[in-house]
């Protein structure tokens, strides 16, 4: 557990059952992100992560790999930057199984992934459950606020059937997609739709 106003250069948590950070403010991470690898559970609550810069890796604040379950409650990610890779605030990739990121009553504002994806949050094979949260004024190349691949997050599917989860996802900027972004997942070509013209 870290006390308030803790300044660190890096934390790596490997093969742990859990990591919990509660009531963190002014936790400063310089040039790298908080790295968690193959943990079962990660919980962040009532914490503020602001003005962190990762100059060389993924995630301006958090780089999560193969985590089963990540819970973020009542936390703020403000003005964090990932200068070279993905995820202005959070980069979460799951290679072995489907990861779950549950974010409730949290803010992601003015985060940046300058040359990559996920201005605030970058997800690869991770389901995102997002409720009562703000994703706004984030910047990247593809997605703006949130970039996802392989899995369409639950909150997007619920939004499509008009279920209001009280999220504000707006005013994010990207060259491709403005608030949410993803890659092409499927192309269907039917033989009967193919027409071969006469050659001259």
Taking residues 85-102, report their average pLDDT: 94
| Residue 188: pLDDT band with limits 50, 70, 90 | confident
Rounded Cα gap, residues 68 and 90, in angstroms? 15
Q: Does residue 27 carry a pLDDT above 60?
A: no
Rounded Cα gap, residues 109 and 171, in angstroms? 10
Q: Does residue 10 carry a pLDDT above 90?
A: no
CB 33 within 8 A of CB 12: no
DSSP per-residue letters across 51-100 = S-EESSSS-SSEEEES-SEEEEES-EEES-EESSSS-SSEEEE-SSS-EE
What pLDDT is attached to residue 3? 33
CB 37 within 8 A of CB 66: yes
Residue 26: count other Cβ atoms within 10 Å of its Cβ: 13
CB 76 within 8 A of CB 127: no
Q: Structure tokens of 7?
A: 């300044």
CB 56 within 8 A of CB 79: no
Q: Which has the higher per-residue pLDDT, 44 or 6? A: 44
Pairing of strands 99-104, 90-93: unpaired
What pLDDT is attached to residue 165? 94
What pLDDT is attached to residue 46? 86
Residue 113: count other Cβ atoms within 10 Å of its Cβ: 35
Q: Which has the higher per-residue pLDDT, 11 or 164? A: 164
Taking residues 29-58, report their average pLDDT: 79
Q: Does residue 57 carry a pLDDT above 90?
A: no
Per-residue model confidence as pLDDT tens digits over 161-186: 988 999 999 999 998 877 887 766 56
CB 165 within 8 A of CB 159: yes
Q: pTM for this one?
A: 0.81
What pLDDT is attached to residue 140? 94
What pLDDT is attached to residue 132? 98
């Amino acid at each position: 557990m870290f006390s308030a106003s803790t300044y660190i250069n890096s934390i790596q948590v490997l093969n742990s059952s859990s990591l919990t950070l509660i009531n963190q403010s002014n936790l400063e991470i310089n040039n790298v992100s908080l790295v968690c690898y193959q943990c079962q559970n990660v919980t962040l609550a009532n914490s503020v992560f602001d003005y962190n810069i990762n100059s060389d890796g993924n995630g301006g604040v958090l780089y999560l790999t193969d985590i089963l379950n990540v819970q973020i409650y009542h936390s703020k990610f403000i003005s964090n930057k990932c200068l070279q890779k993905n995820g202005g605030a959070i980069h979460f990739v799951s290679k072995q199984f489907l990861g779950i990121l549950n974010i409730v009553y949290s803010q992601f504002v003015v985060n940046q992934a300058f040359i990559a994806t996920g201005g605030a949050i970058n997800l690869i094979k991770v389901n995102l459950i997002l409720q009562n949260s703000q994703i706004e004024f984030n910047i990247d190349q593809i997605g703006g606020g949130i970039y996802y691949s392989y899995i369409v997050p639950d909150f997007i599917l619920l939004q499509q059937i008009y279920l209001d989860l009280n999220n504000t996802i707006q005013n994010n900027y990207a060259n491709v997609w403005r608030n949410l972004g993803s890659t092409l997942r499927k192309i269907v070509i039917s033989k009967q739709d193919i027409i071969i013209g006469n050659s001259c």
